[in-house]
Amino acid sequence: MTGPSTLADGIPPVADLPQAREASRAGRFMRLWDRHQSLLPTLAALVLLFGMLIYAEIAYGKVFHAGTMSSLLVSFAPTIILAVGMTIVIVSAGIDLSVGAVVAFSSVSGVMLMNIGVNGWLAIVLMIVFGAIFGLVSGVMVQYFNVQPFIATLAMMFLARGLASILSTTPVTAPEDSPILLLATDWKIIDGPKVNDFTITPGLIIAVLVVIAAVFFMHRTRMGRTVYAIGGNESSTQLMGLPLAKTRVWIYVISGALAGLAAVVYTAEVGGKAQNVTGIGWELDAIAAVVIGGTLLTGGSGYVLGSVVGVFVIAALRLIITKDGSINPEYLTIITGAVLLVFVLLQRVLTRRSRT
């Protein structure tokens, strides 16, 4: 066997440059797809939202008016706050079924405290603290007593609802000079013709600030990244030495505190009225919004902003049913369930492809 006659003869042939570039582009596309395919359910929810709003505008009119949009934003501010807390819990592969009942207890107890002479601002703070206490109990049961999140928060749901019923079975109203009513003050941003004004309230501002804070918390803090790690692989989280126990307890404390805050905003919106039946089914609305927004029920993946989109999908469904008038309101539950099923199946398909 003879060696290469020249140095060039010893160099292996180079692949065709156009083919190499095409393979490189394909590889970059696949890597980009793998990295961002979790956004697909959120994008699908966004397309669904705009599709429903456009349909409602064509079919019924006056949907994209400033008055309609501001009314939707203000009325769904408490649901947005609940969905933010639920997102954090579900990303950690947990669940919180107590938030609706916590809203009822915090609302009734806060208004009753105001009526017996407790300072209004202090009562508002206590409403949030009461919610955080329920969350703390849930977190301790889940982390230190190894109780399933479903069972722990279900127990808190019955406890909070029962305590609210013990406090009062009839509606109670805050004093006329209570500061909680200030949170429902209308701030006119756009002065439109007739009643077509774009107005916001301090309660809506609170909801927006909660969303911004949650996005920062989940993506820019160590505890937020630990939440994703717990939902993704709890065993790996322990091996990496991340503060699993403390984080898991705080997850439920945050969810409970946000439920208390949602109670404050809702109570302000309804003129300071509180009753023990408030919040029935709200936990299901929050869970549906989170799943529609793209958060995996198995944990480890999800976005706060996606959950906000999910809230507005539910809001758009209610808007269509209200404007139509001929649709039975009970169909909202059926339609929401159908939409939820579609998004769960979409998540399942994407999860299988990712594992493959």
More confident residue, 59 or 145: 145
Instruction: Measure the CA–CA gap between 351 and 298, rounded to whole angstroms.
Output: 10
SS3 category, 182: helix
User: Residue 200 — φ and ψ, nearest 5°?
Assistant: -130, 170
Rounded mean pLDDT of the chain? 87
pLDDT, average across residues 261-275: 96
Is the confidence at residue 350, as pLDDT, over 80? no
Q: Which of 27-41, 70-84, 179-193, 323-337 has the lowest mean pLDDT?
A: 27-41
Q: Report the CATH number of the 40-355 domain.
A: 1.10.3470
349's CB contacts (< 8 A; 6+ apart) are: none
pLDDT, average across residues 58-68: 86
Would you state the structure tokens that stand for residue 70, as one six-digit string? 């501001």
Per-residue pLDDT band for 341 (boundaries 50, 70, 90) equals confident
Per-residue pLDDT band for 283 (boundaries 50, 70, 90) equals very high
Per-residue pLDDT band for 32 (boundaries 50, 70, 90) equals very low
Q: What is the pLDDT of residue 191?
A: 77
What percent of the chain has a predicted confidence (pLDDT) above 90?
63
User: Rounded to the nearest 5 degrees, what angle is found at the Cα of 228, between the Cα atoms of 254 and 142?
Assistant: 55
Instruction: Measure the CA–CA gap between 139 and 150, rounded to whole angstroms.
Output: 11
Of 29, 70, 94, 74, the residue nearest 228 (C-alpha): 94
How buried is residue 15: exposed, middle or buried, by Cβ count under 10 Å (0-12/13-18/19+)? exposed
Q: Which of 36-50, 250-264, 279-293, 295-309 has the lowest mean pLDDT?
A: 36-50
Q: What is the pLDDT of residue 87?
A: 97
Would you state the structure tokens that stand for residue 272, as one six-digit string? 């300071």
Do residues 100 and 280 lie in contact, with contact meaning Cβ atoms separated by under 8 Å? yes
pLDDT, average across residues 264-270: 96
Of 305, 319, 344, 297, the residue nearest 91 (C-alpha): 297
Instruction: Measure the CA–CA gap between 217 and 257, rounded to whole angstroms.
Output: 15
Per-residue pLDDT band for 236 (boundaries 50, 70, 90) equals confident
In single-letter form, the type of residue at position 107 comes to S
Do residues 338 and 75 lie in contact, with contact meaning Cβ atoms separated by under 8 Å? no
Instruction: Measure the CA–CA gap between 229 and 236, rounded to whole angstroms.
Output: 8
Per-residue pLDDT tens over the stretch 154-182:
999 999 999 999 999 999 999 999 999 99
Instruction: Measure the CA–CA gap between 62 and 349, rounded to whole angstroms.
Output: 37
Would you state the structure tokens that stand for residue 17, as one six-digit string? 């440059």
Per-residue pLDDT band for 24 (boundaries 50, 70, 90) equals low
pLDDT, average across residues 287-300: 91
Q: What is the pLDDT of residue 229?
A: 94
Concatenated DSSP letters of 299-335: SS---HHHHHHHHHHHHHHHHHHHHH-SS-TTHHHHH
| Cβ-based neighbour number of residue 139 at 10 Å | 28
Taking the model in full, what pTM does it have?
A: 0.88
Per-residue pLDDT tens over the stretch 83-136:
999 999 999 999 999 999 999 999 999 999 999 999 999 999 999 999 999 999
Per-residue pLDDT band for 40 (boundaries 50, 70, 90) equals confident
Is the confidence at residue 7, as pLDDT, over 50? no
Q: What is the pLDDT of residue 242?
A: 87
What percent of the chain has a predicted confidence (pLDDT) above 70?
87
Residue extents of the structural domains in the chain: 40-355
